């Protein structure tokens, strides 16, 4: 289990977070049991809840997974109030082709994130980094976290 001095702040796009909650993936267990601080704002939280509702029938009919209500509860447990950042200002510069995705970049910058995790190739992954913050898929993040752990152990 990864244990550091303090939680490492990260941002997780809803296209990774919601399926991870529904299916209790390996990534979900990393979020639940390792020292990562999941940064968020009300926009990203609301988007995640909307996606949970939209996907509820797909996931509950295809897999033996949590019900929609339990997924909402799990999401709220993962999103600690202390890790909430202010909302993105309306006049904040566009960095992504999709204005909604700028919210994840804002949360990362404002919260001091060390990594942004997404599957969004066209709007976020193509950036590769944002203001020095790496952007990658869950498997990229896993390798990054393993390297971080090795560096921590070497201290």
CATH number at residue 65: 3.40.50.1010
Say what the pLDDT of residue 22 is. 82
Is 1 part of a structural domain of the chain? no
Rounded CA-CA distance 44/145 in Å is 23
Strand partners, 135: 116
User: Which three-class secondary structure state does DSSP give residue 94?
Assistant: coil
- pLDDT tens digits for 125-152? 999 999 999 999 999 998 888 887 777 6
E strands of the chain, at which residues? 8-12, 36-38, 115-117, 129-130, 133-136
Q: pLDDT at position 54, please?
A: 86
Task: Determine, yes or no, domain membership for 93.
Answer: yes
Say how many domains are in the chain: 1
Q: Does residue 32 belong to any structural domain of this protein?
A: yes
Q: Which domain holds residue 51?
A: 8-154
């Amino acid at each position: 289990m990864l244990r550091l001095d303090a939680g490492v702040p990260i941002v997780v796009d809803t296209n990774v977070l919601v399926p991870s909650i529904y299916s209790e993936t390996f990534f979900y267990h990393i979020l639940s049991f390792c020292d990562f601080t999941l940064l968020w704002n009300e926009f990203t939280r609301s988007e995640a809840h909307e996606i949970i509702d939209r996907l509820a029938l797909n996931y509950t009919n295809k897999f033996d997974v949590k019900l929609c209500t339990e997924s909402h509860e799990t999401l709220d447990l993962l999103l600690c109030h202390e890790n909430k950042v202010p909302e993105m200002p309306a006049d904040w510069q566009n960095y992504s082709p999709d204005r909604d995705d700028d919210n994840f970049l804002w949360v990362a910058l404002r919260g001091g994130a060390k990594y942004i995790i997404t599957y969004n190739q066209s709007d976020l992954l193509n950036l590769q980094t944002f203001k020095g913050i790496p952007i990658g898929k869950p498997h990229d993040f896993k390798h990054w976290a393993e390297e971080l752990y090795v560096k921590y152990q070497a201290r």
